[in-house]
Chains A and B, each alone.
Chain A
Amino acid sequence: MAFDIDSLSAAQIAAGVAAGDFSAREVAQAALANVESREGDVHAFLEVSSELALQAADAIDAKRAAGEQLPPMAGVPCAFKDNMHLVGTHCTCASRMLENYQSTFTATAVQRMLDAGCIPVGKTNMDEFAFGSSTESSAFGPTCNPRDLGCVPGGSSGGSAAAVAAGMTTVTLGSDTGGSIRQPAAFCGVVGMKPTYGMVSRYGVVAFGSSLDQVGPFGRTVEDVALSMNALAGRDLRDCTSQPWNTDFLAHLHDGVAGKRIGVIPSLTHAEGVSAEVSEAIEAAAANLASAGAELVEVELPNAAAAISAYYVLAPCEAFSNLARFDGVRYGHQCADPRDLADMSSRSRAEGFGPEVKRRIMLGAYLLSSGVYDTYYYPAQQVRALITQDYKNAFQKVDAVLMPSAPFTAFKFGELSNPTQMYMADMFTVPLNIAGNCGVSVPVGLGRETGRPVGAQLIGPAFADDQLLRIAATLQGFYPELPVSKDFAKGEQR
């Protein structure tokens, strides 16, 4: 049967495969054909796993033929950020350091998507080791924003966001340490969720900032994201920070927002550096939620301004330590003709890591050194406690807080060349990782000036992720779905 994969949601694909309207193999082939035709313009992938995809599809078709019940995402094309392990693929973290590294085990989050019936299309591009907000720091070239090829897709999970926006897969997984799911989701006009810390296992995801990292899904609709969350959420004995979860994300997804209290923070929405088109779009989103029966309540997050500073202390410290294992001894890049152990480690690292990775390692090494620790790390932890308390206070009054996902829409390649400027792109997303609660970016139309997608960020209390998606689903209902971007005007590339 003829079908248009670009117009089908994950749930529709799974239903179609289950009903026999089309086979999983046909879906896989359609997704791979889209990759074939669009990847040249977008470069969302670091590896396309055609063989694994077809094998998985055939297994699902065989199951159906045998009369077995199919899992909830049977046949849904999926891709994974290249910092997640999937046996049979490489896991490069977009770094020369791991250019040839082959996964020896599969990440729990990846496995859960596969168990739910997803078809692994490949591994997606990212900022090197997830350090960045534009995917420009990938050692293997940047990803282009499918909505505007001259713009960055955001980052660090830029490849995962772009792959969904360009219809090369239906859903993807990304990781979010300071906004790396929500910000690219906003830039690419898709839905991206950072679940509550502990909601999804981190086992098999190459760590950046262990106390901040969280895996989450991208989809074109909130419903696809909720479907993915059903697969992902829950305790994993291999990640001792993961928590049990038994609630169906889809059960009350469309129950609306009547009576829900939505927090708004005018001072943040209009903060310095926030573009007018973003402020307007967020105000419109608030008005839409109010029209659906939600109550808008002004709240405060008095310490939000300190979040970026605290984040750029805590994250590099953890990254410094997490990346210490890449020393050329057991795996990864090893320099030629090392003189001795110290030479091997230092030269392998000097050659294997890109500039942004080195910058953050140096920063972390400095911040943790004796005499400096008390000046930075300790106060940063105190700020973390304050911000966490800010959110707790806010959630006494409201069910969710609404704010921009990013201060501006997608920017042009090279536009933010100063690292601290780039860090400001995370001003709305970082506090959430510091506090550990959940957030989702929902596309709320195109910016009045740039014509590029604007993302509204909804933030919920810890382990109220299902409630948050319910509000997000209502919000998304106010906007016409952004179609898959596939007809790329040549010459518009950077």
Chain B
Amino acid sequence: MRDIADILKDWEPVIGLEIHTELTTLNTKMFCSCRLSHDDEPNTNVCPVCLGMPGALPVPNRAAIQSIVLAGLSTNCQIMKHSMFYRKNYFYPDMAKNFQTTQGPVAFCMGGWLDVEVGANGAKERLDDGEVERAKDGSYTAHIGITRIHMEEDAAKMVHVGGAEGRIGGADHSLIDYNRCGTPLIELVTEPDLRSPEEARLFMEKLRQIFLTIGISDCSMESGSMRCDGNISLRRRGTEKFGTRCEMKNLNSFKNLHDALEYEIRRQAEVLEEGGVVYQETRHWDVNARRTIVMRTKETADDYRLFPEPDMVPFDLSEEFVEEVRTRLPELPDQRRDRYVEAYGLKRADAAQLAGDPKLSAFFDEAVAGTQGKLSQSVANVILNELMGYLNAEGHSIASTSITPAQIRSLAELLSSDAISSNQGREVFALMAASGDDPAHIVDERGMRQVSDTSALEPVVDEVIANCPDQVAQYKGGNTKVVGYLVGQCMKASKGKGNPKLFNQLLCAKLAD
């Protein structure tokens, strides 16, 4: 297959996403009062409604509608006051009624957008087509339209026993767990505005950050509470008409989403260049084989016989309802990032990283409160470098760790005031994580506080200069790198307590005389 960069010269990828998110933070299902929990014994959170027993009727979950309105408000959507549910009819036992209750042409949320910032590296995945303004390093912002977000219910979980790869074909029998059946689910559909797998990945990442921030879901791609399908087609550069698209399934991680789309660009380019035809079909990303395989073709697609759900009257959301939801809108990741940059002078990338995760940003907010300038950035550094590295290595999360924002703040203060060196900082962090002690206490107890008093350091520097005539001569001869050796000697002489930055400054000053 051709190299992607080469393919992009001739072909333009057109990508749209369909993202399903289970509203896992609600207490009950979409149309009944069964508990929302997939982990319980199979078929324990069920009732006549979600089991589709004759005579049962759906009653919409008001909190779920508040959640989808919140999702719409956080993604610049128009909230439709008047909308209704529809029935999508298909025969499959994962939906007990043999129809899924979903929405029709008008969803609760219509016509939104999100901007994604594509960094210099990822920007290479999109040909500089002149359609987006690029920075010097190539980075750009892509404006992605959101067609709609609609409300629906999730299906039951099926386990096919005895067949190949857990599929129903050839299975001996199938088990159905209706605990998941009726879970409130929102589906976001983007416009076909995405032009690279990286843009798709960043969009998904940003949406996940937003949904986590507004608290409507745990957004776990691993467990399937957030799922993404990608539609992709290619068109020849310079043409308007969309090519035939394929729908990618099983994109259960950011990496899979990216890689499947990238594979599909190569595959479709190859098919088209060989004079072949891309068929409209659903393809499955095979993670192990690292390729997409056909699941079903358009010819076998179902006719869902969509029609208005007659068991519920259309919704007329009141102004008060929408405004009440609007008051619950928290600070969103982009706003938070900008605040971090403005209020604390953080580097934009660091600010974005902290702002993207609500738990992380809450932790940061607590640690950084009342600080400014160097100390603020130091707090950010300790969290992003030391803390995150530690949590990843230990398999902990920000929510489960016993390390407190006050400890991080204490460590950052020691670092930003040069009381300890950055090497010492790592050591103190490790001791703090192991013992739970306050960093200042650790430093004092172990006498680690570095000396930053020039008058105390000067005699040490003089002594080293006197003891190392060869290196001094080399330095004066133009080999300024040798100063590192001299700093090392100073550190040794001060038993590690001198501030290496100050030693460096003093040495340079004295040797320049």
Contacts and interface: CB of A to CB of B under 8 A. Distances in A.
Contacts of B168: 341
25 contacts: A85-B55, A91-B55, A105-B55, A203-B55, A203-B57, A212-B310, A238-B57, A240-B58, A240-B311, A240-B313, A241-B312, A320-B305, A321-B305, A324-B97, A324-B98, A325-B96, A325-B97, A327-B91, A327-B93, A331-B53, A341-B93, A341-B174, A345-B91, A368-B89, A368-B305
Contact of B96 (A239, A330, A345): A330
Contact of B60 (A240, A373, A377): A240
A240 B57 CA distance: 8
B59 A237 contact: yes
A212 B91 CA distance: 24
B303 to A, nearest CB: 5
A472 interface: no
Given A321-B87, A373-B307, A206 B312 contact: no
Nearest to A368: B305
Contacts of A368: 89, 305-307
Interface residues of B, number: 29
Contacts of B93: 327, 329-330, 341
Contacts of A205: 55
A212 B96 CA distance: 23
Given A324-B98, A324-B99, A327-B98, A238 B53 contact: no
Contacts of B98: 324-325, 327
A105 B48 contact: yes
Interface in B142-158: none
B130 interface: no
B313 A241 contact: yes
B97 A204 contact: no
Chain B CB within 10 A, most for which of A324, A342, A370: A324
Nearest to B90: A324
A212 B59 CA distance: 18
Chain A CB within 10 A, most for which of B48, B56, B58, B307: B307
B99 A91 contact: no
Contacts of B97: 324-325
A223 to B, nearest CB: 30
A365 interface: yes
Size category of the A interface is: 35 or more
A452 interface: no
Given A324-B97, A341-B168, A368-B89, A240 B312 contact: yes
Given A101-B54, A107-B55, A203-B57, A317 B307 contact: yes
A136 interface: no
A369 B55 contact: no
A431 interface: no
Contact of B52 (A105, A210, A325, A341): A325
Contacts of B313: 240-241
Interface of A: 83-85, 91, 93, 98, 101, 104-105, 107, 202-207, 209-212, 237-241, 317-318, 320-321, 324-327, 329-331, 341-342, 345, 365, 368-370, 373, 377
A203 B91 CA distance: 24
A368 B96 CA distance: 20
B51 interface: yes
Contact of B311 (A84, A207, A369): A207
B337 to A, nearest CB: 42
Given A207-B311, A211-B310, A241-B311, A370 B303 contact: yes
Interface in B77-112: 87, 89, 91, 93, 96-99
Nearest to B48: A105
B311 A324 contact: no
Given A91-B54, A324-B98, A325-B96, A238 B307 contact: no
Contacts of B303: 369-370
A174 to B, nearest CB: 15
Nearest to A369: B303
Contacts of A321: 87, 89, 99, 305, 307
B55 A204 contact: yes
Contacts of B51: 330
Q: Lowest 4 A-B CB distances belong to which pairs?
A: A211-B310, A324-B98, A368-B305, A210-B310
Contacts of B57: 202-203, 207, 238-240
Contacts of A101: 54
